[in-house]
Amino acid sequence: MPMSSVDEHRSEAPQTVACHVITVSDTRTMETDTGGALIISMLEEAGYVVSGRTIVKDDYEDIRELVYKSSVDSGIEAILLTGGTGIAPRDTTYEAVASLLDKSMPGFGEIFRYLSYTEDIGSAAILSRAIAGTIGNTAIFSMPGSTGAIRLAMSRLIVPELRHVMREIYKRS
């Protein structure tokens, strides 16, 4: 049976991706950042490289500056953010990330919310503002801060498709 185009793309994808993990929180420390630790664990288990980890306050300018600096770092191919994606006045991750994207991947947020709705939290999924896209040749994924949301986004969307995403980014550059 012939290989599908998705299978072909996956077979042409890089074997690993260098990822930077950013936790957006006013209260977490490296010791209490269970979400960032979970992302790292899942990335490493899947064969990805973690090139760094940062905790940043939920401040629009601080988040935007860190994401931008990470996106132009040649040692970082993908940035995974957790936290600050809700609708509370203090949540600014979505706005900071969206303001920097060259290309958006609306399917990430759409499918994440669908999966959250059907498998996890029901109608509260409408409160999530998960977002993904690219800045230059860097992939960006921003997900909520709960470990349940992280596990869902990582296991069902990011881990299975990150190599494929990078293949597409490298193809266009």
The least confident of 10-19, 75-84, 102-111, 112-121 is 10-19
Percentage helix, strand, coil, to 5, in the chain? 50, 20, 30
Residue pair 112/157 in contact (Cβ under 8 Å)? The answer is yes
3-state secondary structure of 75: coil
Q: What percent of the chain lies above the pLDDT cut of 90?
A: 87
Residue 9: inside a domain: no
Residue 90: inside a domain: yes
Residue 10: inside a domain: no
Residues 6+ apart with CB under 8 A from 57: 24, 25, 26
Q: How far apart are CA 154 and CA 156, in angstroms?
A: 6
Tens of pLDDT along 9-30? 555 656 889 999 999 999 999 9
Q: Output the pLDDT for position 74.
A: 94
Domains contained in the chain, number: 1
pLDDT greater than 60 at residue 107? yes
Q: Output the pLDDT for position 13.
A: 55
Residue 83: inside a domain: yes
Q: Output the pLDDT for position 168.
A: 92
**Residue 29 structural domain:** 18-172
Residue 102: inside a domain: yes
Residue 29: inside a domain: yes
Residue 7: inside a domain: no
The count of other CB atoms within 10 Å of the CB of residue 112 is: 26
* Average of per-residue pLDDT across 80-94: 95
CATH of the domain at 127: 3.40.980.10
Q: Output the pLDDT for position 46.
A: 96
Q: Output the pLDDT for position 171.
A: 79
Q: How far apart are CA 142 and CA 158, in angstroms?
A: 10
Q: How far apart are CA 94 and CA 84, in angstroms?
A: 7
Tens of pLDDT along 143-170? 999 999 999 999 999 999 999 999 999 8
Residue 36 CA, chain-centre distance (Å), reads: 11
**What DSSP line would sit under 141-170, residue for residue?**
EEE-SSHHHHHHHIIIIIHHHHHHHHHHHH
Tens of pLDDT along 45-60? 999 999 999 999 999 9
Residue 25: inside a domain: yes
Q: Output the pLDDT for position 15.
A: 81
- How many residues are there in the chain? 173
